[in-house]
Structure 1
Amino acid sequence: MDNPAVGNLVQIFLVIVTVAGLGVALANGKKDRATAMSLAVDDRRAADERADSDRREATAAIEDERAFLREQAQLQMQLDHALKIVQTAENYPRGDFTMMKHWGLSIRSSVIVLGKDLVPQAWSVFIDREHQWEVLQDDVLQEINDLAIFTARTLNCPSCYHVHRIL
């Protein structure tokens, strides 16, 4: 390296290599930053999707719980009114008009709560008054007993916890 021209050439070469190395390093850094930002955006999007999915699952579970509890309350109310009708029917007052009015009102209110779909014969006797109690008494009591048994079995369903969707 005694020749200054060769030394200058070596220095120029080293400067060019250094500048090229810096250019490559800057390009790689820019690419790495872009890749890192892309990964961060993808991670954030995946986290948001997981959170939304978890929220949807939790909402569905809450709705299922509400439907189950609503059905259980409805079934319990049906059973209570069916048993009330049976108990009231057993105590049919004979001859006391005031007691007969009270007796009829008690049964009518329970029949209205149960509805025409669940107890059509009782409905025809106590609401529509198409038939007399004395004529359909056995049929109405059988209908109410069947409803009470079906409702009790549904309440005590061995495979519960699920919604029967019969209401």
Structure 2
Amino acid sequence: MKNTKIIKRKRRVKNEEIKNKPKPETIKKKKLNIKEVKEETAANKLLRMINSKHLYTYAINKILKCDSDTLHELKNEILPFLFNKLMVEESNLIYKILHRLFIVYDDKKMLFKYLKSFEYSNNELIDKIVRIVLKINPGLFSENKNEIFHLITNDRLKNELLKTECVDNLQIINK
């Protein structure tokens, strides 16, 4: 007898829940709204990963493999971060990312400020960065060629800087 009463109560509760459930159309609308809010660009995801310590190496590898649009979005946030990492320890992986980044990078004044900040602390790093930029995109030095000339310590690199024409156009190398 008790079992039948319990079963009847359960049926009543289920029937009431079914009546109170929202229609499927409203559920779809709610899900779409949630998806629109949750959408993020790949650049934001990569920046978040870099900021967390346990995802740092994964994010660096992702940056190395990401497309040029994502790199273009990341260029201003990630360049100072990479330079700071190079100050702490040199890594071939970071140099590879810098190669890809300088293809897309177009802010000449900021690059000069970063190089100027290394003037008294790390001259070798300046030489390495200038060498990378001369190979990939010498147009970044079109406005500040003389100032950068004075920052360089290596004589061979100074001659190379004098010989190259620093054209304003972005030279894109397909690799």
Report the TM-score, using the length of structure 2 for normalisation.
Answer: 0.30
**Higher normalized contact order (CA 8 Å, seq sep 6+, divided by chain length):** 1
